Amino acid sequence: DAMYEDLPSRQGKIFVKDRTVVQCTDDETAAIAPADLQPAIDALVAKRECGRAFVRPSGTEDAVRIYAEAKTEKDANELAFEVAKAAYEIVGGALGKPTPAAADYGM
């Protein structure tokens, strides 16, 4: 009868041309710019059971950090990859597109 359940999660980053393009709410749980980024994330999250994902600009490099969680590890990994791809396209990725096998999407 657990009230809280840890869900599998995945973190990563993608390199972008300009991290300042991404702006988030104060609690960093939603992107407010670019305007089409959060709706894209929301659409991807809606496809996963217990899905949740958010992005935020890195504080130290031209990169966007990605966090995703879902009911299964497979879904968490796939959601993180899908969010990475969407962010790469919408924000303006650099240094190669994300791949599902990459431990760190931009590398």
Please report, for the domain that includes residue 33, its CATH number. Answer: 3.30.310.50
Total domains, the chain: 1
* Residue 33 lies inside a defined structural domain of this protein: yes
**pLDDT 10s digits, 66-77:** 999 999 999 999
Of 25, 49, 48, residue with least CA distance to 37: 25
Q: In the numeric block, which tokens belong to residue 74? A: 């497979």
Alpha carbon distance 65, 97 (integer Å) = 15
Of 81, 101, 97, 74, residue with least CA distance to 16: 97
Q: Is residue 96 very low, low, confident or very high in pLDDT (cuts 50, 70, 90)?
A: confident
Q: Name the CA dihedral angle for 94, 92, 12, 53, rounded to a multiple of 10 degrees.
A: -170
Q: What is the pLDDT of residue 81?
A: 95
Q: Is residue 106 very low, low, confident or very high in pLDDT (cuts 50, 70, 90)?
A: very low
Quote the domain boundaries for residue 18. 9-92
* Residue 46 lies inside a defined structural domain of this protein: yes
**pLDDT 10s digits, 16-58:** 999 999 999 999 899 999 999 999 999 999 999 999 999 999 9
Residue appearing with tokens 């130290």? 60
